[in-house]
Amino acid sequence: DDGPFGDHLQRHMIFLNQNPTARLALKTALRTSACETDSDFHVLRSAGLIKGHNRQAVIPRCGLYEAYFKNRL
C-alpha cells in the first residue's frame, strides 16, 4: 500500500468497496479464471482489472493486481 503503485491500487480498492457486485465478481474471477455473468466481465474489464475476450477465460490485468487483490478480497 505504501509502494509506488499504492495510490493506484487504493483507487481500485475504493471502486470495489463501493461496488459489492464488482468486488465479488473480481474475487470469483481470481479464484476461477472466469466471470459468472457478461455484466461482471464487462464491468471488470472496463475498470481495467481483468483482460480476456470472453467471460469464460479471464486473467488479472497484471501480476501486481493478482497478488494485491488475492490478499485483500
**Per-residue pLDDT reduced to its tens digit, 10-62:** 999 999 999 999 999 999 999 999 999 999 999 999 999 999 999 999 999 99
1 within a domain of the structure (yes/no): no
Q: How many domains does the chain have?
A: 1
Structural domain of 11: 6-70
pLDDT of residue 55: 97
**Do you know the residue count of the chain?**
73
| Residue 29: strand pairing partners | none
Contact call for residues 43 and 58 (beta carbons, < 8 A): no
Task: Please report which confidence band the pLDDT of residue 1 belongs to, taking 50, 70 and 90 as the band edges.
Answer: low
Q: Domain for residue 21, yes or no? A: yes
Domain presence at residue 56: yes
Answer whether 15's CB lies under 8 Å from 8's CB: no
Q: How confident is the model at residue 2 (pLDDT cuts 50, 70, 90)?
A: confident
pTM: 0.92
Whether residue 37 is contained in a domain is answered as yes
Q: Are 33 and 58 in contact (CB under 8 A)?
A: yes
59 within a domain of the structure (yes/no): yes
